[in-house]
Amino acid sequence: MTLAICIHCGEQKFGAFVPCRLCGFAPRTVTEKAKSIILSDHHFPKKELLSYQLKVKEFGEIPVTSDGRLPFDSVFLATVARPIFDQAYFHHEQVNSETENIRCKRCGGVFRPEYECPFCLACTSETQSPFAKCDRCRILLEPGARFCPTCGTPTSRDEKVNPSDVGSYLALMTRRVSRSEPILGRHESIRAFRAKLAAEDIGGNDLEVEMVGLFAGEVQLARFFRYGAGLTACVLEVVDLYRHSFVIVDDDSSFANAKANLCLQRLDEYRDEMASNPDAWALPLGTRIARNCLEEDSCSASAVFEMSILFGFFLKVFEEPLRRRIFGA
Ligand SMILES: [Zn+2]
Ligand SMILES: [Zn+2]
Ligand SMILES: [Zn+2]
């Protein structure tokens, strides 16, 4: 039985979705459901869970945050709510379809679902199939590859090393790292720029900094891939989680889509910048980052330099955890 905490009043209950016997609250929206799943012993050891319980009892419902902190950071909520979003999409499609066909949530292709799954067969396989790994060369290959093309060793597979799970890991890490003190506190140009921003514009700058982080994560991940489509699939999973996190924060799906498109655009820009200067990308990339993160069109040399250091810092932070997540200790 799942020990859960009523997100509304803090009473203990068994089952995240059952109505609270004290206040009668039962989660209905995606966010309420995700919060209720998180405040259960599936996600936290009992001791930690009880500390959140005290918090709810004393201060009321814990709000959604975007700072990477537990329990209710919006990207963390989005990873937990993914099946709920998928289910809602499936039912929406089914109700609005005049045939038995629906549009795939990922590629938009029309298909006939066999289960309550909103993804076509190709997309399901693309996001869920574990990559083939060569543990010796530390590279990732197409799911079907049986031998490493470099050293000839038979490949291995780990169920949790697929685009969907690696994407969740990368999303959570991007959020946590980009909100950390070493990023926002120590880089003088970012600190100075943010000090001038109005409170309502900080969120936009947060997202710009996060996209620099995500790109660094992508660059580190790319070093393992001998299979470009796999890398792309991981990054698309991250952006989709972010899209959901925007819905959780603003409850406005067209706004969320616009922001997710901005994320994709930024990744394209950074990728292009790096590809067009393969041997000396640091400063051109720094210039591009300064334009987005500091809104400086004619950037000072020190701001550009600092932005390339920022990117280097992200690269370093992502390197070891990603390797460990994929290839183990
Ligand atoms: Zn309650
Ligand atoms: Zn599809
Ligand atoms: Zn090998």
Distance 34 CA to ligand 1 centre (A): 16
Distance 26 CA to ligand 1 centre (A): 8
Distance 43 CA to ligand 1 centre (A): 19
Q: Does residue 133 belong to any structural domain of this protein?
A: no
All residues at 6 or more sequence positions from 292 whose CB lies less than 8 Å from its CB, including other chains: 208, 211, 212, 266, 269
pTM: 0.94
Distance 24 CA to ligand 1 centre (A): 6
Distance 122 CA to ligand 2 centre (A): 6
Query: In this structure, are 188 and 54 located in the same domain?
Result: no
Q: Does residue 108 belong to any structural domain of this protein?
A: no
Query: In this structure, are 165 and 26 located in the same domain?
Result: no
Distance 154 CA to ligand 3 centre (A): 8
Distance 215 CA to ligand 3 centre (A): 26
Query: In this structure, are 175 and 55 located in the same domain?
Result: no
Q: Does residue 88 belong to any structural domain of this protein?
A: no
Q: Which one is predicted more confidently, 180 or 161?
A: 161
Q: Which helix (H) or strand (E) holds 139?
A: strand 139-141
Distance 151 CA to ligand 3 centre (A): 4
Q: Does residue 110 belong to any structural domain of this protein?
A: no
Distance 23 CA to ligand 1 centre (A): 4
Distance 45 CA to ligand 2 centre (A): 37
pLDDT (tens digit per residue) in 205-254: 999 999 999 999 999 999 999 989 999 999 999 999 999 999 999 889 99
Residue 97 — very low, low, confident or very high, per pLDDT cuts 50/70/90? confident
Query: In this structure, are 321 and 176 located in the same domain?
Result: yes
Distance 232 CA to ligand 3 centre (A): 22
Closest CA relative to residue 183, chosen from 211, 221, 219: 211
Sign of CA dihedral 230, 283, 261, 77: positive
Q: Which one is predicted more confidently, 294 or 181?
A: 294
Q: Mean pLDDT score of the chain, rounded to an integer?
A: 94
Q: Does residue 24 belong to any structural domain of this protein?
A: yes
Distance 209 CA to ligand 1 centre (A): 38
Query: In this structure, are 176 and 321 located in the same domain?
Result: yes
Query: In this structure, are 166 and 55 located in the same domain?
Result: no
**Burial degree of 11 (CB within 10 A; 0-12, 13-18, 19+):** middle
Query: In this structure, are 184 and 313 located in the same domain?
Result: yes
Residue 44: which domain range? 3-59
Q: Does residue 130 belong to any structural domain of this protein?
A: no
pLDDT at 46: 93
Residue 266 — very low, low, confident or very high, per pLDDT cuts 50/70/90? very high
Query: In this structure, are 164 and 288 located in the same domain?
Result: yes
Query: In this structure, are 312 and 166 located in the same domain?
Result: yes
**Which ligand lies nearest to the CA atom of residue 120 in the structure?**
2
pLDDT average, residue stretch 199-205: 92
247: left (phi over 0), alpha (psi -120 to 50) or beta: alpha
**Which ligand lies nearest to the CA atom of residue 60 in the structure?**
1
Q: Does residue 308 belong to any structural domain of this protein?
A: yes
Q: Does residue 311 belong to any structural domain of this protein?
A: yes
Domain termination residue (choose one: 59, 75, 90): 59
Distance 32 CA to ligand 1 centre (A): 12
Total domain count for the chain? 2
**Which ligand lies nearest to the CA atom of residue 156 in the structure?**
3
Domain termination residue (choose one: 59, 89, 107): 59
